[in-house]
Amino acid sequence: MSILILADHHDGHLSGATAHVVAAAQQIGGGDIDLLVAGQDVQGVAEQAAKLDGVARVRVADHAAYAHQLAEPLADLLVRLADGYSHVLASSSTTGKNVLPRLAALKDVAAISDILDVVSTDTFKRPIYAGNAIATVQSADPLKVLTVRSTAFDAISESGNASIEMVDVAVDNSLSSFVDEQLEQSERPELGAARVVISGGRGMGNGENFKLLDGIADKLGAAIGASRAAVDAGFVPNDMQVGQTGKIVAPELYIAVGISGAIQHLAGMKDSKVIVAINKDEEAPIFQVADYGLVGDLFQILPELEQKL
């Protein structure tokens, strides 16, 4: 009985989500927690991972086949390593969601997505219907393959000193190859991990107006998000989307500007500690979940808010 976690990383940095997944693994308990860092030139990531409390070993698979985190080689690697573990976990990032179901099928076991809570070693809570219901599910499979909603677990601290060991498993991948990637560059905190998030919706009118959020985000150290309507209208890129089909956030403060509050958006933010809604339509459903609502024209409110912060 021990647990293997697929670490999330990008550009030589361990993703913040991994510390939350380790917390979920500690709640499952039962044995050692190992972290797998798979990629190319990931020694730095392995060193960051070794600092996470509660991690017994960091296992490092450093090979060109694992660069860019493609699902086919990563799942093959995990299949080879999974024996001896009772659970394999990853965060519900796009990598975790891409790789773990493939692993589960190769091991002929179910995958359980996006767990919110650990009831016992085999029983977990997870959201269904865009977070409008919470299901408690129990798995009788010998291997539990789980993705973890990182915002539902507090991050563990970083004072550990786990051992680092190399995993010498190279896999062939003739199925897929990396072509290119276009990443959004931002100085702001990562949306999924930010303490404050300010999001704009269709009410922003156009992409240019999203600049009205910049000054407020700077003052609050906030990440900037968007509703699906704003993304679909082409105002902002899709990796800013908060919702059932985008990112799930649970910051201390979420400020929704010009967002009506459709079910799919609420699924992504309604576990925020404090929600503020700024909208000119006082009937907008967002006001039903907002702790503080301000009815009015965002083009007047936003500059005033920036000035008064």
Partner 1 sequence: MKVLVAVKRVIDYNVKIRVKADHSDVDLTNVKMAMNPFCEIAVEEAVRLKEKGVATEIVAVTVGPKAAQEQLRTALALGADRAIHVATDERVESLAVAKLLKQVVDVEQPQLVILGKQAIDTDNNQTGQMLAALTGWGQGTFASKVDVQEGTVNVTREIDGGLQTVALKLPAVVTTDLRLNEPRYAKLPDIMKAKKKPLETKTPEELGVDIASKVTQLQVETPAERKGGIKVGSVDELVDKLKNEAKVIS
Interactions with partner 1, residue window 84-103 (CB under 8 A): 93-95, 97-103
Length of the chain as a residue count: 309
Residue with smaller CB distance to partner 1, 50 or 71: 71
Tell me how far, at minimum, the Cβ of 56 lies from partner 1, in Å: 27
Residue with smaller CB distance to partner 1, 127 or 200: 127
DSSP state of 270: T
239 three-class SS:
helix
Apex CA 114: angle with CA 154 and CA 260, to 5°? 90
Q: Near partner 1 by CB under 8 A, which window of 25-33, 38-46, 128-136, 198-206?
A: 128-136
The span from the CA of 299 to the CA of 235, in Å, is: 16
Using CB under 8 A as the binding rule, whether residue 109 contacts partner 1 is answered as yes
Using CB under 8 A as the binding rule, whether residue 18 contacts partner 1 is answered as no
Beta strands in 73-110 (DSSP E): 87-91
The span from the CA of 182 to the CA of 172, in Å, is: 26
Tell me how far, at minimum, the Cβ of 72 lies from partner 1, in Å: 6
Contacts of 245 (CB under 8 A, 6+ apart): 228, 264
Contacts of 6 (CB under 8 A, 6+ apart): 36, 38, 74, 78, 88, 89, 90, 95, 96, 99, 100
Residue with smaller CB distance to partner 1, 88 or 162: 88
**Interactions with partner 1, residue window 207-246 (CB under 8 A):** 220, 228, 231-232, 237-239, 244-245
Which one among 110, 164, 167, 233 touches partner 1, defined by CB under 8 A?
Answer: 110
CB atoms within 10 A of CB 80: 11
DSSP state of 68: G
| Size, binding site for partner 1 by CB under 8 A | 89
Using CB under 8 A as the binding rule, whether residue 193 contacts partner 1 is answered as no
Using CB under 8 A as the binding rule, whether residue 184 contacts partner 1 is answered as yes
**Interactions with partner 1, residue window 270-289 (CB under 8 A):** 270, 273-276, 282, 287-289
Site string for partner 1, 31-50 (x = CB under 8 A): --------------------
